[in-house]
Amino acid sequence: MGKRNGRDPSLDEEWERLVLKAMDSGCTKEEFRRFLRLKKAKMDEHPIQLRNFSKEKKE
């Protein structure tokens, strides 16, 4: 399969973790949406850097 919708599937796993973490911390939907917008903008700007960063974190 590889990329889905032109995105790396490992990024989707990263999103899952972010969503769960946000739910655990009890932030409101509005706060979470604002955070997602910022995060998405950053991912669109630097997808490769972020992917490399998340790989480094796991090891």
Share of the chain above pLDDT 70, in %: 54
Alpha helices in 1-59 (DSSP H): 9-25, 29-45, 47-58
Domain assignment of residue 17, yes or no: no
Query: What Cα–Cα distance (Å) separates residue 40 from each residue in 1, 26, 57, 59?
Result: 23, 20, 19, 24
Q: How many domains does the chain have?
A: 1
Domain assignment of residue 10, yes or no: no
Domain assignment of residue 13, yes or no: no
Domain assignment of residue 14, yes or no: no
The CA-CA-CA angle for residues 30, 25, 11, to 5°, reads: 75
Domain assignment of residue 33, yes or no: yes
Domain assignment of residue 41, yes or no: yes
pLDDT for the residue 1: 46
Domain assignment of residue 2, yes or no: no
> Encoding tokens for residue 37?
């917008």
Confidence (pTM): 0.32
pLDDT for the residue 28: 77
Domain assignment of residue 48, yes or no: yes
The whole domain housing 37 covers 22-58
> Binning pLDDT at 50, 70 and 90, where does residue 47 land?
low
